[in-house]
Amino acid sequence: MAADTLTTLMKLAAKRFGADLSQLRPEDDLFERLGIDSFQAVELISDLENEFDIELPDYELQGVKTFESLAQKIDKRR
């Protein structure tokens, strides 16, 4: 996994949801750490698709819960 993908993902998530970037870890559960629901996760996915110029199909994101696993999915599409 590209470190820049993970870093960009975590920065975008922190900015969108007002989280402290220094408190986020790659292995954190996105939903728990950010305090978001599935609708808010879709907003984050939209931000990521725009940032990385990719499309992340829903079926590929099932079971993705951590920043690290989401970054891996992004890298597969780049």
Provide mean pLDDT across the span 1-7. Answer: 88
Whole-prediction pTM value? 0.93
Provide mean pLDDT across the span 29-58. Answer: 96
Q: Where are the chain's structural domains?
A: 3-77
Options 20, 37, 53, 58, the catalytic residue: 37
- pLDDT band at residue 48 using 50, 70 and 90 as cut-offs: very high
What is the phi-psi region of residue 53: left when phi exceeds 0, alpha when psi lies from -120 to 50, beta otherwise? Answer: left
Average pLDDT of the chain, as a whole number: 95
Q: What is the pLDDT of residue 3?
A: 87
Tell me whether residue 37 is one of the annotated catalytic residues.
yes
Q: DSSP states of 53-76 as a string?
A: T----HHHHTT--BHHHHHHHHHH
pLDDT at 6 over 80: yes
CATH 1.10.1200.10 fits 3-77, yes or no: yes
Q: Is 53 helix (H, G, I), strand (E, B) or coil?
A: coil
Provide mean pLDDT across the span 4-28. Answer: 97
**What residues have CB less than 8 Å from 23, skipping those under 6 apart?**
33
